[in-house]
């Protein structure tokens, strides 16, 4: 299934349930469009791109709705904004959603999931001349783990914990104000690697299109570097993914 099919399926699912699930909506008449605020994330990341496509598709499918994407700090801000009624719907990654629904580090939320989005394989990207071939090669080096409020930061914590690594202690972790800042930091050498997730993720696409990028498959890694079983045992929601010609494959979000 390609990204267009995923967006279309999500849009159809949301269009069918939005009128029943958004407390902020208050249409004055059958002819007036109902505005729905959709929380995404910081510019340059996957959520604004995905949210924009979903909003455009819903607006075409249902002329009575006007879905307006709104940039936020990401998943960890979208959840409290939804709870406070400041968003109608919001995009939330699997890990922060899991913590919110199970009450990890916070009270359990009474929010509802309207539709699933897409699987998010967690990966690192490095420059072409980088000597790093495994995740452990990056230990002690600067790594951009994403925007501060992004669910990708939490995904990285889960994956690395399963590998026996600490995101902040074992790496010189860099947290961004905007997801779009990451690719440039890899390309100009300010960080050794960029963490992200999902096939076609904008940060990976930007780096891959540059002459400084390296693309390689899972088969390029020594067998000792492949440890999905431990990650899956440590984090039961994690699963492995295999995708062609990509960066180091770590794990996949279970949502």
Span 116-138, mean pLDDT? 87
CATH number of 3-102: 3.40.190.10
Question: What does pTM read for this prediction?
Answer: 0.75
Superfamily name and number for 121-252:
Periplasmic binding protein-like II (3.40.190.10)
Give the torsion sign (CA, 193, 215, 210, 40). negative
Question: Quick one: pLDDT at residue 14?
Answer: 64
As a whole number, the mean pLDDT across the chain is 79
Per the structure block, which two tokens stand in for 203? 């940060």
User: Residues 17-63: pLDDT tens digits?
Assistant: 565 444 444 544 446 889 999 999 999 998 999 999 999 999 998 88
Cβ neighbours for 243, distance < 8 A, ≥ 6 positions apart: 121, 199, 249
Per the structure block, which two tokens stand in for 50? 């995905």
Share of the chain above pLDDT 90, in %: 49
Question: Quick one: pLDDT at residue 104?
Answer: 94
Per the structure block, which two tokens stand in for 182? 């990451």
The pLDDT-based confidence of 137 (bands split at 50, 70, 90) is very high
Closest listed residue to residue 207, CA positions, set 146, 127, 135: 127
More confident residue, 2 or 95: 95
Residue 106 and residue 222: Cα distance in Å, rounded? Answer: 40
DSSP 8-state code for residue 135? G
User: Residues 186-233: pLDDT tens digits?
Assistant: 999 999 999 998 778 899 889 888 876 654 433 344 444 445 555 555
CA angle, 208 then 195 then 105, to 5°? 155
Beta strands in the chain (DSSP E): 34-39, 65-70, 89-90, 121-125, 142-147, 172-176, 193-197, 248-252
Distance of CA 6 to the CA centre of its chain: 15
Give the torsion sign (CA, 161, 162, 165, 171). negative
Count Cβ atoms below 10 Å from residue 136 Cβ, excluding itself: 15
What is the gyration radius of the CA atoms in the chain, in angstroms? Answer: 19
Phi and psi based region of residue 11 (left: phi greater than 0; alpha: psi -120 to 50; beta: remaining): alpha
Segments making up each domain of the chain, as ranges: 3-102, 121-252
Span 74-97, mean pLDDT? 94
The pLDDT-based confidence of 122 (bands split at 50, 70, 90) is confident
Indicate if 121-252 has the same CATH topology as 3-102: yes
């Amino acid at each position: 299934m390609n990204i267009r099919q995923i967006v279309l399926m999500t849009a159809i699912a949301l269009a069918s349930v939005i009128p029943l699930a958004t407390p902020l909506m208050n249409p004055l008449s059958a002819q007036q469009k109902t505005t729905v605020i959709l929380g995404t994330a910081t510019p340059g990341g996957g959520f604004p791109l995905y949210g924009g496509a979903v909003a455009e598709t819903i607006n075409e499918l249902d002329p009575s709705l006007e879905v307006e994407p709104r940039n936020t700090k990401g998943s960890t801000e979208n959840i409290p904004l939804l709870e406070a009624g400041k968003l109608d719907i919001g995009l939330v990654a699997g890990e922060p959603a899991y913590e919110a629904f199970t009450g990890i580090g916070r009270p359990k939320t009474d929010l509802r999931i309207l539709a699933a989005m897409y699987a998010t394989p967690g990966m690192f990207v490095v420059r072409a001349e980088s000597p790093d071939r495994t995740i452990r090669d990056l230990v002690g080096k600067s790594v951009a783990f994403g925007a501060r409020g992004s669910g990708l930061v939490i995904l990285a914590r889960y994956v690395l914990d399963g590998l026996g690594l600490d995101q902040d202690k074992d790496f010189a972790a860099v947290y961004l104000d905007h997801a779009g800042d990451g690719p440039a930091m890899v390309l100009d050498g300010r960080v050794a690697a960029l963490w992200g997730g999902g096939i076609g993720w904008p940060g990976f696409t930007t780096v891959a299109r540059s002459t400084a990028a390296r693309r390689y498959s899972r088969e390029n890694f020594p067998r000792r570097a492949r440890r999905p079983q431990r990650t899956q045992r440590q984090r039961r929601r994690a699963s492995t993914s295999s995708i062609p010609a990509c960066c180091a494959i770590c794990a996949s979000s279970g949502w």
